[in-house]
Structure 1
């Protein structure tokens, strides 16, 4: 062949490759040790050169799908070297801190953030979770500031998403589903969330329209990945609410690694701020570990383990609650006898192995075991007096008493549950940006449960009959009562149940183009078959199929914008608590609740003040059938255990997040929700989670003249929930709402050492990577938020008064954080 033709063909091939090469982008803000922007910083990468402007902002194009190095240089500051490997069109945000003492080198490998962006997944940075104050700090504390997520209980880690309840949220840690204790009825009893923030590497959250590869729940997915350490490290935290410690260990040959955390918590500081005076001795403790072993480049194995013990000892003494109006203030005084002893011991272990059969084919085998033993024992006698309030805020002695009576509560509830899972998952990738995911899972739930629970109510010397039974009319003292004396509530049942479940999924993912526009779609389906054994009435095997799909498009516009539509058919087969009716008896043939769900979303990245921001909008609608109606008392959910209702949920959510302050991420979210149910065709009424309006703000800042002093603000406002009705009342007759929930938690931290100052410290401080001392103020404005109402009868007017059960008042906390 002619040498000229060879050269010409080679040049043509080279030109073609260059023409079709795709790039990625690195952008951010360069700051110095004082958090001031640095201008005229030169950034170079393989011949490409960029420079930061007067505000420290820079952007540079880098080749994708290869490992490249970026060099940051300045005439008076030391060099920074960063090595990255980015996907095509990936935008990597990097905010370097340049100093004049030591050169810095780092290497990161980031997966495409576009992948999560087109799926509608919110990613929360672990550092943000650790810093933001909250009465129950942790991942759930941050989730409650996101749009569509609601909670009116700062003592609880449970949350509701877009009209669903606490039982409708999936939680995964390292792809393993985790469970909560069953018998908890109060946020005070919860103690610690399963997730240990000190061990977390990545947090992803979807508020709806999630993919088929996730499990069978109706509302949301929280997907958490624990850290796989690469070198030794240690961290600890201490505060007036407890403490925690974590350690990272790595073997010399780098094959073994482990991260282990220990936590202890005592909520006495918070509970002592409530209306009820108590002898309160709670202890919540756990130990958790994630161990990894690389057998070879193709085969890895890991173990996730957790042991926790929650002891709740509660001896109420007195309670005084003022309520009513300015013209007619009233007070409730209660005197208690008795105590409550609860204990929840949980043991969890999961073994996961990953085998890379080829560069494009991966298999995972996961086995897990969850065991919980729980007891809820109490005998509490409450004697109350209701009356007008004098100038000192006490019930007037010289005025008539409006109500007087007593209430005796008794429980001997015990539960033992063993849940075993075995699952195989596969992932196949093709060269044309498409993947196939599939999985098969078997679950066996063995639950032994004894319920003995009753309540006797005496009002003005007369026993109150149960509301759900037909008894002779009680006209005392004018006529003698001839009917039986019965407790107001009486629940007795013993259940020994085994539930076998088979589930699986198949999902196809594809990225392509439509003209110059980028397209992503995910199409899949789930199935589940289950049956309930161990009841008088044998449960029948049930089967459901749930097709789901997601579609996203990124137009070829100057604006960086993505449009999404997702949804499908979602089923939630009943878990044990959903099978148990108000009498404590298991109904084995409760069907799966079904939801037709659609979500429309828009994601817009832009710059404001030369800093990155994101505006996210989502509109959603759910049409639910075979609904299992429930009521909520604090965090306890009680189901009717049938499928005689239908419901809907609709609303929209907004979120604006970005660097309102350079180098820190903050956000503001707003949501509107309306959800109603129709039980046995009686008409639509508000569901217990009908949280109409929600506003939240998470804000991080620092003092301009003292940048080492940081400020963190967590603010939530929710309109009132339904649920102000007496126990066992007909919700169609009682549709009152609780008052609005308003709470602001603020934290101040003096940072002695962090990533920007570590190399400048001398003496004992140089041993720390991070060190800070902070002051937290919970419920900054001392808002009185109620979680439920106590109903007391007026002996004269025969009315019932709703006395709010207030949550925590203003509380101060001191916290020390350190990392080696």
Structure 2
């Protein structure tokens, strides 16, 4: 559960080592001094580039030397170019862009979206923010859970957004879906994300109303953009309280390849910290990641990403069907994800992006005398073409093909009970246009088609959004759209006589960005239709499955970030209110689900102490009680757990070892040693009476220590 912590310190080491490169930094503003968020800055003739953040600040690193031309561009402004001499160290270059006389101001739709590293919307989180959030344990999803719209469900670890179940939130890497983005786990133990945040330069979290270029997600989309060509050759080593890792990168001007190998064994850590569960085999994980980049021609870029993980553990878990007696659960999982993309510019405003991705996941679970073997193979191919007719109008269109194969074998005492196998070929097409109107209005509209040959269902999903610039620092945005999703594999293994589930989003947003501060508030309403329902007792009966469920979610969200008021202090606060009810799955009536606490609050702070070369961080998380069902009462889901609260802290110390940059990192979770109760499992005792067992963390507090070296 903590094996991702190393990613935070590893990336800090990588970042610190990169300081040896030539660095160009500064601010990009208009003539009035207003920051031009998202301005693209590049070393002309290379692929070294970056974009300006919410304050207009940018940091551009390059290995090039001598006379080089720095170019900056932003929609609605004249291009900027300046030739400077690059040698070593840091060069400060402040840029003032002039507005085009015949162009409009850049207005961007922000309704439903938080972005990091994106060139078109306000930046609220950077990749380093994700890694240094104390409560995130180096996990992308842990950091996203500090943003409004998310619910803190600490016993699960996945994303739950605006009253939606975890399966309604999908992850995309370079535009392609990741079928199994979370680690495999057992009940009441949280899963983690499989991928290191340092692999990505852009992180877009859309909590609703997202682009027609993405589908199959009822609630939200986490859109990740991988890094480009590595800036230099290097290798690294990490030694941690939970394992070791090593990496090596080979790079030149036009290509790079990186390989990382990880090994984690939690036996030393879990043996030292008191555990709720008895481990028969402590968690052990082996993983490797390969990232290749090759520049093709002047503008083309070929990217390859491949990750493999293999994990195994065995623990005693209460069998609630047998008076909560201890039952051994053995879990083996292997996961392969590969992603190959190519992007290029054809000139005259035309560009293309195409790619393929493969997810292969094998899960072998042995609870007691039972055995469940599952294999899921998901392949996706996608192509999109964009035409920019002018700086104020463009159209993007594309198509996808995604076959999904699922197989499951269930046996008891080595005797096969059932075998399930099916393939669903999903096809989709989309077209979307963006336009700037009246110097202050941005409009985006599109439509997406979805077809499943397994379900025999075809749908069209229109989507639209707009933003109005009220002043250079503030705007309002609205968005609406229809979203469809194929029912989960675990439902389709019983019957294929189902249709797409459906959600309709309505969102309104107000945002102010000024002087390294950002404030935004958003209201939304989400309506669910065609949700899958079945009988909880006779879940195996395919005739009892239907699309008769429905529901809604509505709420208010507030976000504030301040990087200016206190020197070297960066903090943000988010608040979410949600009112959600649904009738789906085995629910007997329309109620608030257990993953939708009414109030969620997060506060994240990071303080850099220059004299000590140390960054200190802290995260506070709070959520009101979650609904749960007590089967000994006649009412359904009528009780609430106590409130959830957590305070986590971390520290990173950067130092030199044999002339090389190194990082010492430590983290502590649940500083207050609070017992958080996530719900209850019920079972009948020997007398047939219901008994309740609290669902809590396997250990109240977590600790991590590691040292990371770059060479």
- Normalising TM by the smaller chain, what interval? 0.7 to 0.9
Quick one: structure 1 residues 181 and 355, their matched pair in 2 at CA, closer, same or farther if it must change by over 3 Å?
closer
Residue in 1 that maps onto 2:469? 554
Residue in 2 that maps onto 1:276? 277
Taking the TM superposition and a 5 Å limit, the aligned residue runs for 1:712-791 are: 712-725=617-630, 733-752=636-655, 764=657, 766-768=659-661, 771-791=662-682
How far apart in 2 are the matches of 1:699 and 1:225?
Answer: 25
**Greater relative contact order, per chain length (Cα 8 Å cut-off, separation 6+):** 2
The structural deviation recorded for 1:574 is 2.0
Matched, 1:176 2:176: yes
Quick one: structure 1 residues 189 and 778, their matched pair in 2 at CA, closer, same or farther if it must change by over 3 Å?
closer
How far apart in 2 are the matches of 1:292 and 1:335?
Answer: 53
Deviations 1:432-485 (A, max 9, x none): 42111111111111221113479xxxxxxxxxxxxxxxxxxxxxxxxxxxxxxx
Deviations 1:769-792 (A, max 9, x none): xx3213211111111123342324
Deviations 1:1-57 (A, max 9, x none): xxxxxxxxxxxxxxxxxxxxxxxxxxxxxxxxxxxxxxxxxx9999x999xxxxxxx
Taking the TM superposition and a 5 Å limit, the aligned residue runs for 1:513-524 are: 513-514=438-439, 518-524=440-446
Quick one: structure 1 residues 262 and 61, their matched pair in 2 at CA, closer, same or farther if it must change by over 3 Å?
closer
Larger Rg: 1
Matched, 1:351 2:362: no
Contact kept? 1:364, 1:424, Cα under 8 Å: yes
How far apart in 2 are the matches of 1:182 and 1:191?
Answer: 6
Secondary structure at the counterpart of residue 627 of structure 2: coil
Residue in 2 that maps onto 1:75? none
Residue in 2 that maps onto 1:264? 263
The structural deviation recorded for 1:708 is 2.5
How far apart in 2 are the matches of 1:166 and 1:143?
Answer: 13
Quick one: structure 1 residues 367 and 793, their matched pair in 2 at CA, closer, same or farther if it must change by over 3 Å?
closer
How far apart in 1 are the matches of 2:131 and 2:217?
Answer: 28
Q: TM-score, normalised by structure 2?
A: 0.79
How far apart in 1 are the matches of 2:364 and 2:453?
Answer: 27
Deviations 1:374-415 (A, max 9, x none): 210131xxxxxxxxxxxxxxxxxxxxxxxxxxxxxx421011
The structural deviation recorded for 1:573 is 2.1
Residue in 2 that maps onto 1:438? 397
The structural deviation recorded for 1:178 is 0.7
Contact kept? 1:551, 1:564, Cα under 8 Å: yes
Aligned length: 630
How far apart in 1 are the matches of 2:291 and 2:106?
Answer: 25
Residue in 2 that maps onto 1:657? 561
Secondary structure at the counterpart of residue 198 of structure 2: helix
The structural deviation recorded for 1:295 is 2.3
Q: Give 1:627's match in structure 2, choosing from 531, 534, 538.
A: 531
Q: Give 2:457's match in structure 1, choosing from 532, 542, 547.
A: 542
How far apart in 2 are the matches of 1:575 and 1:317?
Answer: 27
Quick one: structure 1 residues 44 and 789, their matched pair in 2 at CA, closer, same or farther if it must change by over 3 Å?
closer
Residue in 2 that maps onto 1:497? 422
How far apart in 2 are the matches of 1:245 and 1:113?
Answer: 44
Contact kept? 1:664, 1:701, Cα under 8 Å: yes
How far apart in 1 are the matches of 2:40 and 2:315?
Answer: 59
Quick one: structure 1 residues 364 and 346, their matched pair in 2 at CA, closer, same or farther if it must change by over 3 Å?
same
Q: Give 1:85's match in structure 2, choosing from 41, 66, 72.
A: 72
Secondary structure at the counterpart of residue 659 of structure 2: helix
How far apart in 1 are the matches of 2:225 and 2:96?
Answer: 15
Residue in 2 that maps onto 1:105? 91
Taking the TM superposition and a 5 Å limit, the aligned residue runs for 1:408-487 are: 410-452=369-411
Quick one: structure 1 residues 786 and 60, their matched pair in 2 at CA, closer, same or farther if it must change by over 3 Å?
closer
Which 5+ residue runs of structure 1 have no aligned equivalent? 1-42, 51-57, 73-80, 92-101, 320-332, 380-409, 455-489, 533-539, 581-585, 633-637, 754-763
Quick one: structure 1 residues 373 and 88, their matched pair in 2 at CA, closer, same or farther if it must change by over 3 Å?
closer
How far apart in 2 are the matches of 1:435 and 1:214?
Answer: 18
**What RMSD in Å do the two structures reach over aligned CA positions?**
4.2
The structural deviation recorded for 1:192 is 5.2
Contact kept? 1:118, 1:520, Cα under 8 Å: no
How far apart in 1 are the matches of 2:281 and 2:154?
Answer: 19
Contact kept? 2:182, 2:191, Cα under 8 Å: no
How far apart in 2 are the matches of 1:674 and 1:577?
Answer: 27
